[in-house]
């Protein structure tokens, strides 16, 4: 399959926001932001900046023509600060000038008198003070207290998982171009066309039909462009007020310092097992480090909350979760959307429990895998469970017992280096947990020459969703792939689109496309039967770009069919809508069916740890992933590989450091992401065979996010190696950087 986007990427011809030729008279915007984590704005003087060379305007909250709000879930995030600031990097004023350099020079002339106030940077401290977003969530399944009393083994402790920078290639940016009658068109690097469209209209104080948001593709998103609308609404406001095009683009360090991250979490866990290693009870408390504004944090916490049992059957459980309001930039969505953080705790708890029992962790995991008929803690009775099938396929490919024995033999023979391994099963619910977001529209136009244009709400950001939508359209219509083009994501063609996230892009938009193409196909078949005077209309078919009557044909080409249909006044345009059926969830009882289906997987990760230096290598990763009936095996394999590598980075080397005052210390030169040299020498990916999924388009399964969980294998394998050297410490925090590994090996014992 020829992937047009991929070809353009490697040739350097893909067009991103910065590649759009700047319109005549285009201005450049930069933000003046808070230098303190929390404070009261006593005075703000922008007069000197406004008079600086090349400056067209300086705007404060007083100049916002509409609603001064970009809060995603709650209205708690002003576009421009009013009388207080809640984090370093919070926008206070907007400078617009002839060039970005002139705007940045003018920033230095702004005088802000801000009285610093006490700030909170610990999620546990925030929770203790009642500084939370939304409500504390809690669910009890079964009778955990009685079950713990029957447990032979109980593993209990505290855990920590750190933040992660999205590090997309294309930083936050937008180009806003005003039009006639107070209309505006915005080209943006954004994942949420519907939500951002709404934010734009609210901030500008105009109806949504006067705003057009157009998105060709993103230079990566990973969730970091799903919810925070500051960098899109700010230049749009300036363009609207000045009646001139305005562009805003963050520098890399500016992007890292002011944008949200993957949420760090802190945990209290307690896992109880019987003498045979079967889970009897589990308790987990989640403290989410959300940041100063809610942004999308409560929704991320909700996904963590629903996935704390991982891929295991847990009959008795208590889970609580709280989104903690702290004075750092508001964190946001990131690939996995809270599922990696929720899954992390039970995977680490198994490591602890296995030590208590003196058995390999993978043996305990295998005994507790989900099976058909099991009921999840929120009331869903499972069917078509492929957890055990993925595990067995992995075992058949790798020989898990033999790999464990080989590692043990190596460790007995070596003192300076140690081998560690881990097996990670995956169970990932697919759908937006917010039921209302599980909808999509598609517009399909067939032109008189037989070419086809498809418009959906899906945003292409490197994951191949446009390629999959082309495949669905071509397959459904029965025409060559080359006849189909996927248009830009545009709010004037497909309104109110849900975000492209939660691994639902192809599921939702692909199904809407399929519905539209099916209606067009039926319409054309009816016309073809009349046009060809067929005795048996049911025998007419379209395939391989031609019209067939029974087995005879092609009697007419697709192109001639389209032209004849248009001449006969047959409608060659169709809009279709898809809403995932049978989804519901009650937040009060914490029961329901929030997901359409589940993606499963299993992986083996092996590492070698240098016990003197704390350095390590990831020797091998072997993955078996359930992708249903793959729409494109090449794309799905690429998504598995990319997700795993990104997960490896979160688990090992990616670390954000904050100063005591809340300032982000990590810049582009200090933030390390996995490169080609870090990728394991052996990296095997197998897509599970004979997996059916009637709950998604063409029996496929989501693939963008679930494989990220396999990256936890690096953390668990390193923990396995570290704990083989010393067990007088608690389980290490994530990520296990080489520095942390060194200190774990050579630092003081607990309590010293």
Where does residue 54 rank: exposed (0-12), middle (13-18), buried (19+ CB within 10 A)?
Answer: middle
The active-site residue, picked from 606, 622, 654, 705, is: 705
Report the C-alpha gap between 185 and 245 in whole angstroms.
10
Q: Phi and psi at residue 296, in whole multiples of 5°? A: -115, 10
H helices within 215-338, ranges in order? Answer: 230-242, 252-258, 297-306
For residue 355, what are its two tokens?
């030590």
Query: What whole-number distance in Å separates Cα of residue 564 and Cα of residue 570?
Result: 9
Sequence-distant (6+) residues with CB within 8 A of 385 are: 370, 371, 372, 374, 598, 600
Residue 387 DSSP symbol? H
Sequence length of the chain is: 752
Report which of 233, 202, 229, 251 is spatially closest to residue 332, judged by C-alpha positions: 229
Whether a cis peptide bond, with omega within 30° of 0, leads into 132 is no
The rounded distance, in Å, linking the Cα atoms of 526 and 529 is 5
- How far, in Å, CA of 514 to CA of 492, rounded? 21
Answer yes or no: are the C-beta atoms of 237 and 230 closer than 8 Å: no
Name which of 581, 296, 300 is nearest 439 in CA terms.
581
Q: CB of 334 within 8 A of CB of 164? A: yes
Adjacent-strand bridge partners of 723: none
Going 101 to 105 to 111 to 114, the CA torsion angle's sign is: positive
752 is catalytic: no
Site of tokens 């409560």: 298
Write the DSSP string, 247-260. EEE--HHHHHHHS-
Residue 749 neighbours by CB under 8 Å, 6+ apart = 728, 729
Neighbouring CB atoms inside 10 A of 569's CB total 8
637 phi and psi, to 5 degrees? -65, -40
Q: How crowded is residue 489: how many other Cβ atoms within 10 Å of its Cβ?
A: 27
The answer to whether 162 touches 733, Cβ cutoff 8 Å, is yes
Phi and psi dihedrals of 392, rounded to 5?
A: -65, -40
Measured at the CA of 501, the angle between CA 497 and CA 507, to 5 degrees, comes to 75
Contact in structure between 291 and 331 (CB atoms under 8 Å): yes
What does the alpha-carbon distance between residue 620 and residue 643 come to, in Å, rounded to a whole number? 15
H or E, element range at 624: strand 616-625
Q: CA torsion 452→456→460→463, rounded to 10°?
A: -90
The gap from C-alpha 6 to its chain's centroid, in whole angstroms, comes to 21
SS3 609: strand
735: cis peptide before it, omega within 30°? yes
Burial class (CB in 10 A: 0-12, 13-18, 19+), 112: buried
Distance of CA 282 to the CA centre of its chain: 27
Phi and psi (nearest 5°) for 218?
Answer: -110, 150
In the numeric block, the tokens 């990104």 are attached to: 646
| Cα(356)–Cα(184) distance, integer angstroms | 63
Give the residue numbers annotated as catalytic, written as ranges: 705
């Amino acid at each position: 399959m020829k992937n047009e986007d991929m070809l353009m990427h490697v040739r350097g011809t893909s067009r991103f926001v910065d590649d759009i030729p700047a319109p005549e008279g285009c201005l450049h915007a930069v933000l003046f932001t808070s230098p303190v984590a929390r404070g009261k704005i006593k005075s703000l003087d922008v007069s000197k900046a406004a008079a600086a060379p090349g400056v067209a305007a300086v705007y404060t909250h007083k100049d916002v023509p509409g609603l001064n709000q970009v809060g995603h879930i709650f209205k708690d995030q002003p576009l421009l600060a009013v009388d207080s600031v809640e984090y370093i990097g919070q926008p206070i004023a907007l400078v617009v000038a002839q060039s970005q350099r002139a705007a940045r020079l003018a920033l230095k002339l702004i005088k802000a008198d801000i009285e610093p106030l006490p700030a909170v940077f610990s999620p546990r401290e925030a929770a203790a003070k009642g500084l939370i977003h939304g409500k504390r969530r809690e669910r009890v399944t079964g009778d955990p207290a009685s079950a713990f009393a029957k447990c032979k083994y109980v593993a209990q402790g505290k855990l920590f998982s750190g933040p992660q920078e999205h590090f997309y290639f294309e930083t936050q940016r937008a180009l806003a171009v005003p039009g006639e009658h107070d209309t505006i068109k915005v080209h943006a690097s954004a994942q949420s066309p519907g939500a951002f469209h709404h934010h734009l209209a609210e901030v500008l104080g105009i109806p949504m039909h006067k705003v057009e948001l157009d998105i060709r593709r993103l230079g990566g998103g990973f969730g970091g462009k799903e919810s925070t609308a500051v960098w899109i609404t700010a230049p749009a406001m300036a363009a609207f007020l000045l009646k001139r095009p305005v562009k805003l683009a963050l520098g890399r360090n500016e992007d890292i310092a002011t944008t949200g991250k993957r949420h760090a979490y802190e945990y209290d866990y307690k896992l109880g097992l019987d003498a045979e290693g079967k889970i009897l009870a589990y308790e987990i408390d989640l403290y989410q480090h959300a940041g100063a504004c809610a942004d999308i944090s409560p929704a991320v916490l909700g996904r963590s909350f629903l996935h704390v049992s991982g891929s295991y059957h847990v009959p008795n459980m208590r889970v609580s979760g709280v989104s903690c309001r702290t004075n750092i930039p508001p964190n946001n969505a990131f690939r996995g959307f809270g599922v990696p953080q929720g899954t992390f705790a039970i995977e680490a708890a198994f490591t602890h429990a296995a030590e208590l029992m003196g058995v390999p962790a993978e043996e305990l995991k295998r005994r507790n895998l989900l099976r058909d008929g099991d009921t999840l803690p929120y009331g869903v009775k499972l069917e078509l469970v492929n957890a055990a099938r993925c595990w067995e396929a992995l075992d058949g490919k790798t020989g898990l017992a033999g790999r464990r024995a080989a590692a043990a033999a190596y460790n007995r023979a070596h003192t300076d280096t140690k081998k560690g391994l881990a097996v990670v099963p995956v169970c990932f619910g697919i759908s937006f947990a917010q039921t209302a977001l599980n909808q999509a529209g598609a517009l399909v136009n067939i032109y008189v020459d037989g070419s086809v244009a498809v418009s959906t709400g899906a945003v292409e950001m490197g994951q191949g969703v446009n390629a999959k939508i082309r495949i669905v359209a071509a397959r459904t219509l029965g025409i060559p792939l080359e006849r189909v083009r996927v248009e830009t994501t545009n709010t004037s063609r497909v309104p109110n689109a849900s975000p492209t996230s939660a691994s639902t892009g192809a599921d939702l938009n692909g199904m809407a496309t399929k519905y539209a193409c099916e209606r067009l196909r039926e319409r054309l078949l009816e016309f073809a039967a009349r046009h060809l005077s067929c005795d048996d209309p049911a025998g007419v078919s379209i395939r391989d770009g031609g019209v067939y009557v029974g087995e005879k044909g092609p009697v007419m080409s697709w192109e001639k069919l389209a032209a004849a249909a248009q001449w006969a006044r047959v409608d060659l345009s169709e809009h279709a809508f898809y809403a995932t059926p049978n989804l519901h969830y009650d937040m009060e009882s914490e029961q329901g069916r929030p997901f359409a289906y589940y993606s499963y997987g299993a992986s083996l990760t092996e590492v070698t740890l240098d016990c003197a230096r704390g350095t390590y290598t990831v020797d091998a990763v072997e993955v078996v992933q359930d992708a249903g009936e793959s729409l494109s095996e090449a794309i799905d394999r690429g998504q598995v590989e990319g997700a795993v590598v990104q997960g490896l980075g979160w688990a090992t080397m990616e670390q954000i450091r904050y100063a005591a005052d809340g300032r982000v210390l990590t810049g582009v030169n200090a933030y390390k992401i996995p490169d080609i040299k870090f990728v394991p020498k052996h990296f095997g990916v197998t897509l599970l065979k004979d997996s059916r999924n009637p709950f998604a388009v063409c029996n496929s399964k989501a693939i963008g996010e679930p494989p990220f969980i396999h990256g936890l294998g690096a953390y668990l394998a390193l923990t396995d190696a570290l704990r083989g050297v010393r067990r007088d410490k608690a389980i290490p925090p994530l990520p296990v950087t080489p520095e942390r590994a060194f200190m774990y090996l050579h630092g003081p014992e607990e309590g010293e």
